Amino acid sequence: MINGYTLIDPATATGDARKLFERAEKGMGFVPNLINTFAESPITGETLLDLYGITSKTGFTPLQVHVVFQAASVLNQCAYCVPAHSTGGRKGGVPDQLDDALRASEPLEDPKLEALRVFTEITVSSRGRATAQEFNDFIAAGWSRKAALEVVLLVSIKTLTNYANHMIEADIDEVFEPLGWTPSEPALA
């Protein structure tokens, strides 16, 4: 980890940090290192958990949420989030082949999922400024204007975790290590 961020023992946490850790453990079965570092700002951690909780209220299936989260994390070169999503996604039924393609920024076999991946990458790289043609291509692939806004919502969640991890460089949790990931290109300057 960098910039003075450290992990604290969840068993000795107090106050708001303890509440954050209890909530993370209840939802995930453990306190991931990235969440652990949010003890520095429990409101950030609570907000993140709230945001993850609302993903099920979008019009996306868990697989489609995975496509957006992973495409954004790969494009943002988050060496923590990519293996974390691979681990959780594969445990939840995301096919290895699909996740491998996302991790490599390669086209997906399913045309509608591929349109979602591409639109996510456009949303991230253009900072939400998709061209009219790019937007229309997304709609023509069978998505809706509602889905476009929900891509922005999901990208916002990943912006929080990806950017926080860039600042923190949280150590990869042991459970995520088998699916470790390194960006294929250097980060943008």
High-pLDDT (> 70) share of the chain, %:
97
The token duo for 23 is 């909530």
d(CA 140, CA 29): 40
| Stated pTM of the model | 0.93
Q: What is the mean pLDDT of the chain?
A: 94
For 29-61, what is each residue's pLDDT tens digit?
999 999 999 999 999 999 999 999 999 999 999
Helices and strands, number each (H, E), in the chain: 9, 0
pLDDT at 189: 45
For 96-112, what is each residue's pLDDT tens digit?
999 999 999 999 999 99
For 118-133, what is each residue's pLDDT tens digit?
999 999 999 999 999 9
> What are the structural domain ranges in the chain?
15-54, 59-179
Contact 32, 73 (CB under 8 A): no
Cβ burial 114-129 (10 Å sphere, 16+ → b, else e): bbbbbbbbbbbeeeee
Binned at pLDDT 50, 70 and 90, residue 9 comes out as very high
pLDDT at 187: 54
Which of the four CATH numbers 3.30.70.20, 2.30.30.830, 1.25.40.340, 1.20.1290.10 does domain 59-179 have? 1.20.1290.10
